[in-house]
């Protein structure tokens, strides 16, 4: 789909952000928040109809285009994204690697192919999306890669073995990129966002039912995470936790890793 002229060329005004997982939940909210602040968007996910509906809504505020992709097919990402950007003369200023999914259940009920899909969508897809756009950002000395990680990366919770591992890898690669390309020298920022419990279709996967009973009362709206993620564009930071007070677990972990582990394990066990 073509992007209106205003978002083309390297001096694009408005600036362009790519948002993966934009068809629902936090990605959708991030795209809405970006458009509200005048950013053009390129929306990526599998469900074309939802992306199209969102893009038409966003166009009331700023240009928007869609690219339907299954991010599990990681081998195709770099060529597909670079091809689409080049064909439409689009130059991204920001990349939100937000697409992802989870599974809740004991390790022995998490087959290897589930671990592989979690790894592909939650980690490798973000790596490949970054590979697709980072060289251009470094060349222009302007850009920001913002990865949606998870509070589960702090201290591994019950039932999240594959999921938390994939998100912990995402945190680690973000830290590595930030170390390799300090923003002062490169002009490119790297951030990761750790949402806590967010009320989205993520929890509609049947495996999450026993956990949802426990955590529903703590769930926050996706708009809250979206605002925090988009705020990073104006005030870059390596890490942001939403809600911010979940960072208390870092302090507890620093003093007593065993206590942090006990708290997180107890809070994440299924309710009967």
Here's the x/- map for ligand NAP, 72-91, by CB under 6 A: it reads as x-------------------
- Residue from 198, 232, 241, 264 touching ligand NAP (CB under 6 A): that is 198
Stretch that binds ligand NAP, among 23-31, 83-91, 181-189, 247-255 (CB under 6 A): 23-31
Smallest distance from ligand NAP to CB 185, Å:
29
Instruction: Identify residues 87-146 at the interface with ligand NAP (CB under 6 A).
Output: 98-102, 121-122
Asked if residue 64 binds ligand NAP (CB under 6 A), the reply is no
Asked if residue 150 binds ligand NAP (CB under 6 A), the reply is yes
Residues in binding contact with ligand NAP, number by CB under 6 A: 30
Asked if residue 25 binds ligand NAP (CB under 6 A), the reply is yes
The residue among 89 and 231 lying less far from ligand NAP, judged by its C-beta, is: 231
Asked if 144 contacts 93 with a C-beta cutoff of 8 angstroms, the reply is yes
- Residue from 171, 195, 230, 242 touching ligand NAP (CB under 6 A): that is 195
The residue among 13 and 209 lying less far from ligand NAP, judged by its C-beta, is: 209
Asked if residue 70 binds ligand NAP (CB under 6 A), the reply is yes
Residues that bind ligand NAP (CB under 6 A): 21-27, 45-47, 69-72, 98-102, 121-122, 148, 150, 195, 197-198, 200-202, 222
């Amino acid at each position: 789909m073509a992007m209106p002229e205003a978002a083309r060329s390297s001096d694009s005004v408005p600036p362009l952000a790519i948002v993966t997982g934009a068809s629902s939940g936090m990605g959708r909210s991030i795209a809405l928040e970006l458009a509200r602040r005048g950013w053009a968007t390129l929306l990526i996910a599998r469900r074309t109809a939802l992306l199209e509906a969102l893009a038409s809504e966003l166009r009331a505020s700023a240009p928007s285009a869609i690219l339907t992709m299954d991010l599990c097919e990681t081998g195709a990402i770099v060529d597909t994204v670079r091809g689409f950007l080049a064909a439409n003369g689009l130059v991204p200023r920001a990349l939100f690697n937000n697409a992802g999914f989870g599974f809740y259940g004991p390790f022995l009920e998490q087959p290897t192919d589930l671990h592989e899909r979690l790894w592909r969508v939650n980690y490798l897809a973000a790596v490949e999306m970054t590979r697709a756009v980072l060289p251009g950002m470094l060349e222009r000395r302007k850009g920001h890669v913002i990865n949606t990680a998870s509070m589960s990366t702090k201290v591994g919770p019950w039932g999240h073995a594959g999921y938390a591992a994939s998100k912990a890898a995402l945190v680690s690669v973000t830290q590595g990129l930030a170390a390799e390309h300090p923003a002062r020298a490169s002009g490119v920022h790297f951030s990761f966002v750790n949402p806590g419990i967010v009320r989205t279709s993520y929890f509609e996967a049947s495996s999450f039912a026993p956990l949802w009973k426990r955590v529903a009362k703590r769930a926050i709206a996706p708009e809250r995470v979206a605002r925090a993620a988009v705020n990073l564009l104006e005030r870059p930071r390596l890490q942001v936790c939403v809600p911010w007070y979940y960072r208390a677990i870092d302090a507890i972990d620093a003093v007593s890793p065993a206590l942090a582990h006990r708290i997180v394990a107890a809070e994440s066990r299924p309710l009967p």
